[in-house]
């Protein structure tokens, strides 16, 4: 969060101003992901019934098997939802690759010098150190969010590939190659575990942490206040402000030009 002094009048103006942060595709994809994870995670945990792993309480495994009508149905349900998840994500990326994904990735995922600096200072500040240092301005997503996005993108790709191996490997792999299926299990598990570990932080920061309340509501409305944008994502705020000013200037110039044409016509 920026420690910039903002006069009261400007604070009030910024609080009333709304800036668009997420488009409809982002919002729908986000909540689609939430729904898929809400279905996949508990059923995936329930599938892991191996007593030798000793990971999942039998009560959990049995509850899901009973609700869905047995192990085969539980596995089928997990496969089906997983396939739906991957299909929609793949479709989204293919359809919106140039228009949405590349611009988003360029601004929302690539790390710049400020991000590197942010990563050096932020951990120290979280430990109560480096109080004299100020955090560099951040784009629409801060360096921490960018790092987590790498984990999520890479994790999702690994989860999808290993999941497909688990679901369909038996049909394509000869028996001598079934070690690939054996390895797909711990890989699938580890990738999910890594994303879930980050998910704790993501959910807390997005939905519970008071300074980020607006981030949570923006996942419904798509908008944040100018106040939040300037305090948390100053680089993004000033870029949007400049774009807005340029757009306004363009509209005004067009208006002036038309007015001049009308006058000349008279």
Partner 1 sequence: MAVKKRYGFVIDVSRCIDCRACLVACRVENNVPLGYSRIWVKDLGVQGTYPDLQHGFVPHNCMHCQHPPCVEVCPSGATWKDPAHGLVLVDTAACIGCRQCILACPYDARFTNPETHVVDKCNGCIQRVEIGLQPACVATCIGGSRLFGDFNDPASDVSVALRGARSLQRLDFTQGEIDTQPNIFYINGDVQDKSIAPHAPQYTAAESFWRKFAIPAVLTGIGAAAIGQAAAFTKQLLDGEKEFEE
Closest approach of Cβ 256 to partner 1, in Å? 41
- Pick from 36, 34, 27, 32: nearest CA to 217: 27
The smaller minimum CB distance to partner 1, of residues 5 and 200, is found at 200
Q: Are 84 and 160 in contact (CB under 8 A)?
A: no
The smaller minimum CB distance to partner 1, of residues 170 and 256, is found at 170
The smaller minimum CB distance to partner 1, of residues 25 and 180, is found at 180
Closest approach of Cβ 161 to partner 1, in Å? 15
The smaller minimum CB distance to partner 1, of residues 227 and 236, is found at 227
Q: Are 22 and 222 in contact (CB under 8 A)?
A: yes
Closest approach of Cβ 55 to partner 1, in Å? 6
Residue with tokens 């932080």: 201
The smaller minimum CB distance to partner 1, of residues 198 and 222, is found at 198
Site of interaction with partner 1 (CB under 8 A): 47-53, 55, 61, 65, 70-72, 74-76, 166-167, 169-171, 173, 175, 178-179, 181-183, 185-186, 189-190, 193-194, 196-198, 200-201, 204, 208-211, 213
Q: Are 70 and 56 in contact (CB under 8 A)?
A: no
Closest approach of Cβ 185 to partner 1, in Å? 5
Sorted by sequence, the CB contacts under 8 Å of residue 83 that are 6+ apart come out as 167
Q: Where are the alpha helices (DSSP H) in the chain?
A: 8-16, 24-47, 58-68, 71-95, 102-108, 113-126, 143-172, 179-203, 213-221, 226-232, 234-265
Closest approach of Cβ 80 to partner 1, in Å? 13
């Amino acid at each position: 969060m920026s420690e910039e002094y903002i006069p009261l009048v400007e604070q009030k103006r910024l609080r009333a101003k709304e800036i668009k942060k997420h488009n409809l595709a982002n919002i729908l994809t986000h909540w689609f992901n939430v729904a898929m994870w809400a279905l996949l995670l508990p059923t995936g945990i329930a599938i892991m019934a191996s007593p030798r792993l000793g990971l999942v309480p039998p009560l959990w495994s049995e509850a899901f098997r009973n609700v869905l009508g047995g192990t085969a149905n539980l596995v089928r349900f997990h496969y089906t939802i997983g396939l739906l998840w991957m299909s929609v994500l793949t479709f989204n990326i293919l359809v919106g690759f140039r228009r949405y994904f590349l611009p988003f990735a360029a601004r929302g995922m690539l790390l710049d010098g400020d991000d590197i600096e942010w990563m050096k200072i932020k951990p120290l500040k979280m430990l109560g150190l480096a109080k004299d240092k100020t955090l560099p301005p951040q784009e629409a997503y801060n360096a921490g969010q960018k790092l987590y996005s790498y984990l999520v993108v890479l994790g999702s790709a690994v989860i999808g590939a290993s999941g497909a191996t688990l679901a369909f490997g038996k049909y394509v792999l000869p028996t001598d190659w079934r070690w690939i299926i054996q390895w797909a299990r711990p890989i699938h598990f580890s990738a999910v575990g890594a994303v879930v570990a980050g998910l704790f932080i993501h959910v807390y920061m997005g939905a519970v942490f008071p300074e980020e309340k607006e981030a949570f509501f923006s996942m419904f409305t798509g908008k944040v206040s100018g106040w939040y944008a300037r305090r948390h994502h100053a680089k993004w705020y000033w870029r949007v402000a400049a774009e807005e000013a340029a757009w306004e200037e363009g509209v005004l110039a067009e208006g002036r030009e038309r007015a001049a044409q009308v006058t000349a016509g008279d």
